[in-house]
Amino acid sequence: MERYSVLDLVPVVEGGDVADALTCAADLAAHAERHGYHRYWVAEHHGMPGIASAATSIVLAQAGAATSTIRIGAGGIMLPNHSPLVIAEQFGTLAALFPDRVDLGLGRAPGSDQIVARALRRDLATDPDAFPRDVVELQAYLAGEPGPVLAVPGAGTNVPLWILGSSLFGAQLAAALGLPYAFASHFAPDAMDQAIALYRERFRPSEQLAEPYVMLGYNAFVADTDAEAMRLASSMQQAFVALRTGRPGKLPRPVDDYYEKLSPPLRQMIDHVLMASGIGTEETVEAAMTRFVERTGADELIFACMIHDYDARKRSLELAAKVARRVVAKTSN
């Protein structure tokens, strides 16, 4: 492992609102910068009461203004929701405001259900070639290649692209285009090992990237005791149960012994979905994170930290950074 980063879903918590979530997002980006995080990414989601990052480029502009060195980026933009030209203009604007600090991760999922997708004016007809075509078109706009339309801002910025995924499709596309690959192992680990192997096996060098580069999502809940970390993690566990049972809402307050009180089927679901997680003290999380990196050969981990209390969220990311630095020292090539 070479680097560690943070993925902020900009959670709207029970007892809070969107304005609170956005204020915390800017502060969290600055906090991550102070503690050596390489990137601060936010993700595009729509129609979800507990996530405030739908207008992703605007959230990133706020994060960029609050920081000076950390890379800011989308993890990711759901490209089927947008015209490639519009995304080139948005991220070209960010690149002009924050030179050499902007990443653009691209996903092909809608980031919503079909009702929200229709409200986004998406064409729900499935065309397996649409996403790869849009990625190549976007890449051309950012490069400033000759064509009927010039992206202004955007042309010539060559904002680095990433392919995001939770299946083999994204792995194959990232390999074919010679782009870095980010896998959503923090909530969809099923195809992780196969996708990583496929990406590395089929990778073709490009102008952007000479060798394959894999970043994996990892849930980090670090506290002074294992019991307190488990309590903090209960908010995310509750949120996943609510989402999977069709009741999404704001990020719940933590609950003592929540995991222990779950029915066996729900506990099994949590264990599986949140497999890529470190929950506990620094020592506990260091052991889990080291095993995960040694198993996957990840070049970078990006930490998700869905904790209700903002001060506890900051503290967890501070402790996770200390752990990550030790794991980098043990596992870097």
DSSP 280: E
Least confident of 156-160, 242-246, 266-270, 301-305: 242-246
Bridge partners of 72? 40, 102
Least confident of 134-138, 146-150, 193-197: 146-150
Distances (CA, A) of 29 to 137, 294, 330: 30, 28, 26
pLDDT for 66-86, tens place per residue? 999 999 999 999 998 899 999
Asked if residue 111 has pLDDT above 80, the reply is no
As separate numbers, helices (DSSP H) first and strands (DSSP E) second, the chain gives 12, 9
DSSP 35: T
For residue 181, report the phi and psi dihedrals to the nearest 5 degrees. -125, 130
Average pLDDT value over all residues in the chain: 94
pLDDT of residue 129: 82
Question: Quick one: average pLDDT of 200-218?
Answer: 98
pLDDT of residue 138: 98
CATH code for the structural domain at 1-159: 3.20.20.30
Asked if residue 206 has pLDDT above 80, the reply is yes
pLDDT for 2-34, tens place per residue? 999 999 999 999 999 999 999 999 999 999 999
125 pLDDT band, cuts 50/70/90, is low
pLDDT of residue 110: 65
165 pLDDT band, cuts 50/70/90, is very high
pLDDT of residue 258: 94
Angle at which helices 282-296 and 226-244 pack, to 10 degrees? 60
The residue ranges of every structural domain in the chain are 1-159, 218-333
The answer to whether residues 57 and 17 touch, using CB atoms and an 8 Å cutoff, is: no
For residue 218, report the phi and psi dihedrals to the nearest 5 degrees. -150, 125
For residue 42, report the phi and psi dihedrals to the nearest 5 degrees. -130, 160
